[in-house]
Chains A and B, each alone.
Chain A
Amino acid sequence: MISRKLLCVVMLFLAFGAFGYGTKITIDNASGIWEKPFVYPMEVLSIASRVETRILAEYATTLFEVSIVYPNQLIEQTSTVPARIMVEYASSIATFDLVNDGLVASGYD
């Protein structure tokens, strides 16, 4: 009777072990393993959906050389910024030029 119970326990252990085998990502000899669960940000999204702006995603990481002439200071400042920043510039300066690979866009606000 005892041996039957023992046999059952062993068989169950083997069955669970076999089932569990191969169900985890296996990594040998790496320095570090970092793992985080994903959580769907429903509450953030319901609030962020009120954001009016539509980001120029396709241009967002394109770098433009921006030449800015401030209206009251006679200063010309040139810097390289992502195109997305032109939204900010357009509302805060008088004249701007965006140059990228020969493409020039000028604006006035």
Chain B
Amino acid sequence: MRRLLSGLVIALFGILAVSLLSAAQQGVISLANPSIPAVGSSFLEEEAGITCYTKVYAVDLIEAERAFKNVEKKTSEYIVGSVRVPGYAESHDVHVYADRTGWIVAYYLAKEPASKIIDWLDYSGGMITSTKLEDALVKVTNALSVELPYVIYYDFRYPAATKIMIITDEETGNEAETFRMRIPSDYTVHSRTWSLAVHANTKWSDSYTQGTVKIDGTELRSGRAYGKSWSIWNGSITPTQLSPDTYHTVLVRNNENHGKGTSYVGIVLIYRG
């Protein structure tokens, strides 16, 4: 009994040590997330949402402009405009800022869901290897004939967030696929968004593939793609639909109508944890 009590005392001491360590780590995070420098607000803070950026040695603005579909503003110091993502409609164009010092910033507007960054046309199941924002950065660095050195993500809407996670799944034939997810209550989730992509791949223009995404049985979206085409939708999940400390089931259903096709689902979380 004495041994058991000794063990319990040591275990409690261990829990206390871990709590202190956790608090110390939180302090480090807050130091790594400083307030905005007092040099005036940036247009990025006003209009950008989900963002990724890199820095190369220098940007030749004339060379960089080749990657732009439209130029909104160009000076001797920087260029702002939009870059087309191959295979996507104009509404998927990525906004890009680049300046002579080497910064290249690709972003979607603050009113757009973070799930828009998923590059479904380049996705073949399993791990995501790139995003549309990264595609835009690559286009600019290719125009500059330099390698993309690194990519860093940020979301200007959620300065307290520390991570982004994308969870994906897919289904073909006339089947449904599910996965479960559980978010601990000690995580602060700032954004929960979904993306549904349906890829129809038939030679008949009136044949279609229908995709549906549900969370715990509640439909988020259902839609079709005809012939050889993609249809993509994005939206938000409410905090109630993805309540903490509970397993939630995400379902993607694929239905083929005289043709072949695949439905993909992505859940994007922006959180502090």
Q: Name the contact of A4 in the complex, choosing from B6, B43, B71, B269 (C-beta under 8 A).
A: B6
Q: Name the contact of B3 in the complex, choosing from A7, A19, A51, A84 (C-beta under 8 A).
A: A7
Report A-chain residues with C-beta under 8 Å of the C-beta of B73.
51-53, 87
The answer to whether A73 has its CB under 8 Å from any CB of chain B is no
The answer to whether B86 has its CB under 8 Å from any CB of chain A is no
Q: Name the contact of A48 in the complex, choosing from B44, B111, B183 (C-beta under 8 A).
A: B44
> B interface, by DSSP: helix, strand, loop or mixed?
mixed
Distance to closest chain A CB from B62 (angstroms): 16
Q: Name the contact of B14 in the complex, choosing from A12, A25, A44, A57 (C-beta under 8 A).
A: A12
Distance to closest chain A CB from B210 (angstroms): 20
Q: Name the contact of B43 in the complex, choosing from A3, A25, A31, A48 (C-beta under 8 A).
A: A48
Q: Mark B31-63, 1 if CB is under 8 A from A, else 0.
A: 011101101111111110001010000000000
**Is B178's CB under 8 angstroms from A29's CB?**
yes
Q: Mark A34-74, 1 if CB is under 8 A from B, else 0.
A: 11111111111111111111110100110100000000000
The answer to whether B146 has its CB under 8 Å from any CB of chain A is no
The answer to whether A77 has its CB under 8 Å from any CB of chain B is no
Q: How large is the interface on B (under 10, 10 to 19, 20 to 34, 35 or more residues)?
A: 35 or more
Instruction: Give A44 to B105 CA distance when docked, in angstroms.
Output: 8
Report A-chain residues with C-beta under 8 Å of the C-beta of B37.
42, 45-46
> A interface, by DSSP: helix, strand, loop or mixed?
mixed
The answer to whether A99 has its CB under 8 Å from any CB of chain B is no
Distance to closest chain A CB from B20 (angstroms): 12
Q: Mark B235-273, 1 if CB is under 8 A from A, else 0.
A: 000000000010100000000000000000000011101
Instruction: Give A46 to B44 CA distance when docked, in angstroms.
Output: 11
Interface size on A, residues (CB 8 A): 57
Report A-chain residues with C-beta under 8 Å of the C-beta of B45.
45
Distance to closest chain A CB from B183 (angstroms): 5
Report A-chain residues with C-beta under 8 Å of the C-beta of B105.
41, 44, 48
The answer to whether A94 has its CB under 8 Å from any CB of chain B is no
**Is A25's CB under 8 angstroms from B15's CB?**
no
Distance to closest chain A CB from B133 (angstroms): 11
The answer to whether A27 has its CB under 8 Å from any CB of chain B is yes
A24's nearest neighbour on chain B, judged by CB, is: B184
Instruction: Give A40 to B36 CA distance when docked, in angstroms.
Output: 9
The answer to whether B23 has its CB under 8 Å from any CB of chain A is no
Given A25-B184, A82-B90, CB of A35 within 8 Å of CB of B165:
yes
The answer to whether A75 has its CB under 8 Å from any CB of chain B is no
Instruction: Give A18 to B84 CA distance when docked, in angstroms.
Output: 49
The answer to whether A85 has its CB under 8 Å from any CB of chain B is yes
Report B-chain residues with C-beta under 8 Å of the C-beta of A29.
169, 178-180
B267's nearest neighbour on chain A, judged by CB, is: A30
5 pairs, CB–CB < 8 Å, chain A vs chain B: A31-B169, A40-B33, A48-B43, A51-B42, A54-B46
A sample of 8 more A-B contacts (CB under 8 A), given A31-B125, A35-B163, is A7-B6, A37-B163, A38-B153, A48-B78, A51-B43, A55-B43, A55-B72, A82-B93
Task: Tell me the A residues contacting B by CB distance below 8 Å.
Answer: 3-4, 7-8, 10-12, 14-16, 18-19, 22-55, 57, 60-61, 63, 80-82, 84-85, 87-88
- By Cβ-Cβ distance, the 8 closest A-B pairs, closest first, are A11-B7, A15-B11, A30-B179, A11-B11, A57-B47, A34-B128, A32-B168, A53-B73
